[in-house]
Amino acid sequence: MERTFAIIKPDAFAAGSAGKIIARIYEEGFKIVGLKKLYMSKVEAEGFYYVHKERPFFGELTDFMSSGPCVVMALEADNAIAKWRDLMGATNPAEAAEGTLRREFGSSIGENATHGSDAPETAAFELSYFFNGLELL
């Protein structure tokens, strides 16, 4: 079993799609071991995405992620990291495969409905950024 970190981003939350996305998560066989709704501050978004701080889209990304409530989750499954990335689809919804979450719920490369960790080290950092051990049961 592996854990990954996932976000239902502000665009999908504002559109009322959180319930549908959570239903897909269960249908695909993930166990949700942590879940909370939160409203990230700009500083919290900058800390979360610090690996992207030199990228030209960093300001736009952190403005968007702090623009409204989102849902953060810890997901557990065999190969959870790759499995969740497969379910999300490509970063750009226009390039995401039919049936993926970003294809269905995303609207642009920035407003792409969901986030997921890309590697075990990233998952460890991202999970610990929003959850403490007692919250992951």
- Output the smallest distance, CB 16 to ligand CMP, in A: 20
Is 4 assigned a ligand-binding role in the annotation?
A: no
Per the annotation, the verdict on 52 as an active-site residue is no
Residue 9 annotated as part of some ligand binding site: yes
Cβ-count burial of 84 within 10 angstroms (0-12 exposed, 13-18 middle, 19+ buried)?
buried
Stretch of 25-33, 68-76, 109-117, 120-128 contacting ligand CMP, by CB under 6 A: 109-117
Site size toward ligand CMP (CB under 6 A) is 9
* Nearest distance from C-beta of residue 4 to ligand CMP, angstroms: 12
Cβ(88)–Cβ(114) below 8 Å: yes
Q: Is 86 a binder of ligand CMP (CB under 6 A)?
A: no
Residues 6+ apart with CB under 8 A from 105: 11, 12, 15, 17, 20, 21, 93, 113, 114
Cβ 114 to ligand CMP shortest distance, Å: 8
In the window 42-71, what residues touch ligand CMP (CB under 6 A)?
52, 57, 60-61
Non-local CB neighbours of 41 within 8 Å, separated by 6+ positions: 66
Name the H helices within 28-79.
42-48, 58-65
Pick out the residues of the known binding site.
9, 57, 85, 91, 102, 112
Q: What are the binding residues for ATP?
A: 9, 57, 85, 91, 102, 112
Just list the catalytic residues.
115
